[in-house]
Structure 1
Amino acid sequence: MKMKMATTALALLVASLGGSIATAAPADAAPARTAVWVGSPIEGTWPTSDGCSGSGARYPSDDCSLPTAHHTYQWGMPYTGDWGIDIGASAGQAVTLYAAPQQGGRSIGAKVERVTLACSARSGESYEQTRRRGGNTVVVGLYEGGTRIGWVTYAHVDPYVSQGQSINRWNTTIGTVGRYSANSCWTGPHLHVEMTNETNYSCYNRGWRPGQQMYRSNFIGFLGGAYASGTRQACP
């Protein structure tokens, strides 16, 4: 069974940044769904270990960007992210979807589930004012037939795609890395990325070193399958 536990601290964090906590869980554990390989959407750097000592090493952390501790959100989907990272990036870079079935012969589709604000609105603030502080979040669902395997979330993006749009799973430009006014929601050019399974848990590539250079389509993690027994775990 996939359980998502909410805490008071996490609820406060998410409320301040425009997400929401997922509390629902499937009534019964479902069999593992097709494993999908997901690649890096940009050229950038895997998170450093800056801010990851002491309390920063514990989830949910704003300061530590490593997948073991970095905050994740729900953004209107059934569950919060299984793991998330901030990839160091330059503003204006194309954000690209790369996804492929781990097992040959599988047909995997992709659809834009949601395009929403990355930051929560301040009192009296218009949509455009909020967007200028942190851009948008784009949630892409990956499917086998009509069955959703999971989703990849990209935040602090100026989107090129629309909610409900079916897109190609390989080499589709989702948008670009934005440049916004510095605030508590956005602290400089980077791309927040999350992955979440519909059943079981997504996992991240254990081979990355803090600060290591990443190139487009480099493997970052699996959706589907049954590689992890819980959140924020590395792939075996």
Structure 2
Amino acid sequence: MRLLTTARVTLAAALGTCAVLLSAPPSPAASGAQPRLAAADTINVYPPIQGASTWDRFGEAPASSHHRVFSNWGYLNDWAVDIYQNPGATVVSPFGSKTAAGNPVSVHVVTVTPGCATGDLADGGWRIGLEAVDDATGTVVGRADVMHVDQKPAEIAVGATVGPWTRLGQTGRFRYSSCYQVNGDTGAHIHLEVINKTKYSCYIGHAAGTGLGDETAVGRVGTENSGPQQAC
């Protein structure tokens, strides 16, 4: 396990910058939400599972079209993907510890609730919502919803601050339901959704079945994409 001081440093140089698209998103007037203005400094998004995991293992739900369930700030989240690992793997925050400019990032728990509409944890575990803040500017950059979390510690509660390796719980196998259509341990996964505070975040388009590690970036928040479900 790597030390916190070296964990999840931004990989912007290797990955390149996202295209800056300045066209505005649809008017929020109908939803009553606040306008999504110019974006902040970017933060990389990493797998929410410590150690090895797999991007879209079965190739049935790519990030370009994967269903989005949750909303933040009055908007449906920007993109979603399933990241797989057998039951018992440690679930962590997906946000990097620094922005692209090197500013420290703090992450706070903003949502803790059963993830499925039934409200029964046996149907799909916990939804844990996290908010990433650029500590140098105080800017809220984005949020992530980490869904299908099992064995959540009591201290993971709204208002808690978590680091890159703080244990949020673990991957689990839940009963088959409309919320969790999994037949075996290899189908156990974390459903990850991401959203910018302003403009739109983006995902990094890995091929189905790609193996991921702790330092494999899977997206970014703070980007200025023109709409949801766009690749970086």
Give the TM-score normalised by the residue count of structure 1. Answer: 0.75
Which residue does the alignment assign to 1:148?
Answer: 140
Is this contact kept in 1: 2:78–2:194, CA < 8 A? yes
Which residue does the alignment assign to 1:209?
Answer: 207
* Cα distance, 1:3 vs structure 2: 3.6
Deviation digits for residues 35-70 of structure 1 (CA, Å, limit 9, x no counterpart): 0011112222111564xxxxxxxxxxxxx4211111
Distance 1:132 1:205, change over 3 A: same
Distance 1:150 1:178, change over 3 A: same
Which residue does the alignment assign to 1:94?
Answer: 90
For 2:132, the aligned partner's letter is: L
Which residue does the alignment assign to 2:161?
Answer: 166
Q: Does 1:84 align with 2:74?
A: no
Which residue does the alignment assign to 2:121?
Answer: 131
Unaligned runs of 5+ in 2: 1-23, 183-187
Structure number with the bigger relative contact order (C-alpha 8 A, sep ≥ 6) is 2
How many positions carry a matched residue from both structures?
A: 195
- Taking the aligned partners of 1:89 and 1:24, their CA distance within structure 2 comes to 38
Identity of aligned residues (%): 28
- Taking the aligned partners of 2:198 and 2:218, their CA distance within structure 1 comes to 19
Q: 1:157 aligns with which of 130, 145, 149?
A: 149
- Taking the aligned partners of 2:32 and 2:140, their CA distance within structure 1 comes to 17
Unaligned runs of 5+ in 1: 6-21, 51-63, 122-126
- Taking the aligned partners of 1:117 and 1:3, their CA distance within structure 2 comes to 30
- RMSD (CA atoms): 2.2
Which residue does the alignment assign to 1:17?
Answer: none
For 1:47, the aligned partner's letter is: D
- Taking the aligned partners of 1:116 and 1:76, their CA distance within structure 2 comes to 14
* Cα distance, 1:179 vs structure 2: 1.6
For 1:186, the aligned partner's letter is: Y
Give the TM-score normalised by the residue count of structure 2. Answer: 0.76
Is this contact kept in 2: 1:3–1:25, CA < 8 A? no
Distance 1:201 1:75, change over 3 A: closer
Which residue does the alignment assign to 1:176?
Answer: 170
Deviation digits for residues 56-107 of structure 1 (CA, Å, limit 9, x no counterpart): xxxxxxxx42111111122565321100011122111111124133423413
Is this contact kept in 2: 1:4–1:80, CA < 8 A? no
- Taking the aligned partners of 2:144 and 2:72, their CA distance within structure 1 comes to 13
